Every structure is written in structure tokens, then in C-alpha cells.
Amino acid sequence: MFRNNEITVEAALRDLRSSNPAVREEAASALGSVGPEDRERAIVALRAALRDDIGAVRYAAALSLGDLKDSGALSLLYDQLEDGDPMARQAAVIALGAIGDKAAFEPLVNAYRSGPADVRFQAITSLAELDAPRAFNVLIEALADPDREVRCAAAGALGDHGDVRARDALVPLLDDNHLSCRFEAAYALARLGDARAIPRLMELTSDGDYRLLAWQGLTMLRAREARDLALSVMRRFFKPEAERVHAAALLAALGEESGRAFLAKRLGRRKLEIRHLVIYVLGDVGDEWALSVLRGLRAKTTDEDMCACVDEAMGRALGQK
């Protein structure tokens, strides 16, 4: 049976033979969530669905094979990298990364270097997922890709990977023509501990799409240059509460009592999302004061969701040590 119990395996296998492409697509998508006892039957049917006449069905089948981590489908997915349907091509690349078989590394590199933009973007993401250290040079190469989505994906992956060798290569992207690339470069550099991101992150605090993550980056960098801006934001009642919390987190990270008091007070708020946000930013603050607050919360908290939130924040804080 399916883990979500919405449809039987038998029904999905039958629907894969339907004359209606939408029904076949839905069935192929559903088969990616079968339980272990039905995995082999689903895999056989999904491999066959990779040869469906409709690209949407091939797309769904590839993604489901990735979910089921079917390493036996690698050669079929390699073939689908040349599929005439863009979505089917993307699904093949995603699936190769999701399966996690290192044998897919070189085909993914080839897909990046020879494929269209949609394939290159997914290939970069999958290569980083498959083997980030081995993919380092390809990720650096992708920072200069003509497609902005590829550049963004490469910058984000390098930030996730944490290899400080990427710092100098990321810096030119701070002046990219596209805002999304400038943000990804700045945020990656913040995660890599490079203060050259600070001016760009300060600019991004005024952008509605990126301002919270920009504040998070400034907090990770302990950016004293942003102190006055943080004080101004924290004191403005008309500012969104989430932004004020992030600004206070920077001040707390700088050891400022005003930021610590602001966060401590918000932990008593009725709105659960604000309390969770404060706990989250305490993980970014990461100093002994923040750890002390988190440990105190953990000791008196019985709610499972709250405990998980505190544990996650403590893990990030301890990871900074």
C-alpha cells in the first residue's frame, strides 16, 4: 500500500495503462510513494512509463524513480537527458541526483556542460547533492554560466557546501546584473564567513523578497557595520515583526543588551510563529547567552514541536563553535 493510503498500488498500476495522459501522469506520480513491499512492482511499471508518448508522464515517472532511489534505472535516465520535452529532461537530472548513485556523476557533468539552461540548472543542483566536494570545480565553473538560474544554483550550493575556497570566486557575483544572483552570492559568502558580503547584504535588507535572509547573513557575520540600521529597524513599530526580530538578533550577536532584551520579551508572545522565529534566530546568534536561553527553554518545554525547534536551533548554535 501507499504510505499516504490515498490510492492502492493496483489502481495506480492499472491507471498507467489508461488512454488518458492525465490519469497516467497522476498514477506515475503516485507510485513514487509506495511502501517497501510494493517497491519492485512500482519500479518495473515506472521504468516502462519512461517510454510513454507524453512528456508529462515521463516527467512524473522519472521523479518517482528518483524518490524510490532506483539505481537500476540509471541508463534509462541517461537516455532521458536527451528527451525532447524540457520537463522530462529536467526530471531525469533531478532523479539522477536523488538516486544518489555516484556512477551518475560524470553523466551529470556532461549534462551540465552540453545541455540547455534548464538541464544545466538541475545538473548543478544534482551534482552538489550527489557529491559536493567532487563537484567543487564544476560549481565554480557554473558561477560564470550565461544563465542566471544556473549562477544562482551554483552560488547557493557553494554556500551550502561550506568550502571557504569558494570565497574569491563568489565575490564577482556580488555585482551581477541580476538581483537574485547578487543575493545568492552575498548569502553564500555570509555562510562562508566572508565580510565582503556585508555591504550587499545591507542593501538587501530593503528588498521585500530578501530582507530576512539578508539580516540572517549579517547576523552570521556579526556585522557591526549594520548596528545602527538594526537599531533603527528594531525600534520601528510599523516594521514587520519578523524583520524586527532579525534585526534584534544581529544586535544580540554583537552582545548588545537591547537586542537580547527584545528577543527575550518576544519569547513570551502568544503568537507561536513569533516564538518559533525567536528560537530560530537564537541559533544564528549562537553565543553562550543564546545557548543559555535555549537550554532553559528545552528544560521546561514539553511540547514536541517546540522541543524540535529548540533542538534545531541549539544544533546550529553549537555548530558555530
Helix axes 241-253, 257-266, angle to 10 degrees: 140
Listed residue (77, 73, 75, 3) closest to 38, CA to CA? 3
92, pLDDT greater than 60 = yes
188, pLDDT greater than 90 = yes
3 state SS for 53-111: CCHHHHHHHHHHHHHCCCHHHHHHHHHHCCCCCHHHHHHHHHHHHHHCCHHHHHHHHHH
4, pLDDT greater than 50 = no
Q: Which amino acid, residue 107?
A: P
What pLDDT score does 250 carry?
Answer: 98
53, pLDDT greater than 70 = yes
Mean pLDDT of 25-43: 95
Q: Which amino acid, residue 192?
A: L
Helix, coil or strand: residue 2 = strand
What pLDDT score does 140 carry?
Answer: 97
282, pLDDT greater than 70 = yes
Domain edges within the chain: 209-321
Q: What pTM was computed for the model?
A: 0.87
Would you list the DSSP string of 245-314? HHHHHHHHHTT-HHHHHHHHHHTT-S-HHHHHHHHHHHHHH-SHHHHHHHHHHHHH---HHHHHHHHHHH
Cell digits of residue 28: 506515475
Provide the pLDDT confidence category of residue 169 given band limits of 50, 70 and 90: very high
Q: Is 132 exposed, middle or buried (0-12, 13-18, 19+ CB in 10 A)?
A: middle
What pLDDT score does 2 carry?
Answer: 57
What CA–CA distance (Å, rounded) separates 306 from 156?
A: 28
